[in-house]
Amino acid sequence: MNDNPLLDLSGLPPFHLVTPAHVEPAIRELVRRADDGLTALEKHAPPTWDTVERLMDLHEPLGNAWGLVNHLMGVRNSPELRTAHQAVQPDVVMCFMRASQSEPLFKALQGLRGSPEWATLDGAQQRAVDKRILDARLSGMALPAAQRDRFNAIEQELSDLETQFANHVLDATKAWALTLTRPDEIDGLPQSLLALAAGAARSAGDPAATPERGPWRITLDAPSVSPFLRHARRRDLRERVYRAYVTRASDGPLDNGPLIDRLLALRLEKAKLLDFNTYAELSLATKMAPGVDAVWKLLEDLREKSMDAARKDLDELVALNGGQALALWDVDFLSERLRESRFNYTEEELRPYFPLPRALEGLFALAGRLFGVTVSRADGEAPTWHPDVMFFRVTARDGAPVAAFYLDPYSRPADKRGGAWADECVARRRRRGGAGARMPVSYLCCNQTPPVDGKPSLMTFREVETLFHEFGHGLQHMLTRVDVSDVSGIRGIEWDAVELPSQFMENWCYHRETLLGLSRHVDTGAPLPDALFEKIKAARTFRSGSMMLRQLYFGMVDFELHHRHVPGSAPVLDVQRRVAARTTVIPPLPEDRFLNGFTHIFAGGYAAGYYGYKWAEVLSADAFGAFEEAGLGDAAAVTAVGARFRDTVLALGGSVHPSDVFRRFRGRDPEPTALLRHAGLAA
């Protein structure tokens, strides 16, 4: 047991040593230690800050190890890891639940808030205590014994169902592929996709596959399915791929339909046990939005402002199609043709200008200008979970260490979940009596096109935006100045505000100096032509009404399911269709089951919270507006506003309510004007 790497995570994780066989014994031992420690703490829990510190000490080893295991579930998934994870997950849930439901600790926290010591605590400490008290209440602490037992059973089952849901989506995505062998089947496909598809064929057992001769394997992983739907001229093949994508995890043993029904029923039951009318009301108890009505108002206002634009977008595509009605598998293809004709460039023309190494250089240079940090590659200084993973260190201008992060950039459909995300590896904390704060470390994970045929990853412009987005999350975790781990970095931030820095960073992809600085042609080294930048900037609002409406569709379906829908009263498909009637200009297919793959709300923490992307986009666009008002061409002004952004949005983490954080940065409450202007939807 002593040589189990999960039992000592005091430094950077030893990924090279961790195997699935380590998970079960280590987690069980850490749960035992935490339980024993809690028992001892409950016997003497005075209403002091020291009790809070001891409680953080108690659960930190288990939290770090379980966080590492969950990270590996996302980036190095395997049957053995799943089995080990499933075996100990109930114990972990109950361990943390027991602490949240501890009456002696709850009394200590409440007593601290009413004690003379309270006035001596700083804002971060007070906010940490307040959040623990709220968490205890929302964890069923005040429930009678029988109801608490039921609450705990619900939490156990929800945790298990969410893991099953994510695994089903991963397995269903991995299980489907379309192998192409003839030239007419690949007509229109860009060279980058042909190279990726040939590589997928080689990985699937055809070592002779080449981009020129095939065979070519198209999968449902984003770097494959997305460009295929945009470029494949064979309409029948687009239809096959589209239908497969929107029906993932909807039949056989991987069918997520029954899991959705059960998840919704359990969430509603949980909410009612806690005296909320709906799960959405429970969700908003820990959000920035003041209530359900405020969320509906935002979504409906944006829907009204984008619907006419989306209908015009559709009319343009119908005209391009000779007046013929469109099928859903035509939309991306014709949109790409329209964009190419209108702005006179193709996505493939851009790829050579965005090799990943150069994009990283430009991104890190921007971070230096705005926030006064230096990012340096440090491969070899930390073990990683895959050879493609990169490691970086972040330092201040004087060379003092600030943070570190891992970047896992490429798609690996065999064992890595889709999408892009950021998470914490190590949280900043200053221990009692410690001389200095522990350095924060972040995970940044993307699923972009991997290197092919000896060339670096050549990124689409959207992949560049995604990289900036995840780096924004990382910055908030890494540049925090809060020493209380409960509310440092991305911890403790209301979920609908956590996308502010990530979406804020995307705006810089349309800033001339930034974009030209991160682009260099992979073969010639030539910068992105200025005329091409102007086209990219002009294309920013292309089909923005449709893109806005798509996100509102997702957000409204989520909120309908968690607020107005009564589980068992009607099929969730009816809810989806009802929302689609108000938020889509082409209705979904009758067999569409996109909900079965909607991991954000059924496995990813966004239940009754997907609206948060739009809520935070209002914040992020308004925040970028401060730079626009100062003058993007004024280097000194940009630096000054960047320092203010760092000292508020990035530095304060969860130690201050996000409404107050925004007011400290912007000097007022957020307004949607900048978002509508950036999207080309302003009146």
Catalytic residues: 470
Q: Which of 518, 484, 480 is nearest to 501 (CA)?
A: 480
Alpha helices, H only, 432-543:
461-478, 500-506, 512-518, 530-538
Q: Phi and psi of 142, rounded to 5°?
A: -90, 0
Reduce the DSSP state of residue 403 to 3 states and report it: strand
CA angle in degrees (0–180, nearest 5) for 269-275-280: 65
Residue with token string 């904390």: 429
- The secondary element (H helix, E strand) that includes residue 402 is strand 401-410
679, 350, 346, 618 alpha-carbon torsion, rounded to 10°: -10
Name the amino acid, one letter, at 331: V
Q: Are 242 and 328 in contact (CB under 8 A)?
A: yes
* Count of other CB atoms within 10 angstroms of residue 459: 27
Listed in sequence order, the residues at least 6 apart from 1 whose beta carbon sits closer than 8 Å to its beta carbon are 7, 25, 26, 29
- CA atoms lying within 13 Å on the CB side of residue 518: 29
What are the Cα distances from residue 451, in Å, to 8, 86, 192, 355?
A: 35, 34, 10, 9
Q: Phi and psi of 447, rounded to 5°?
A: -140, 50
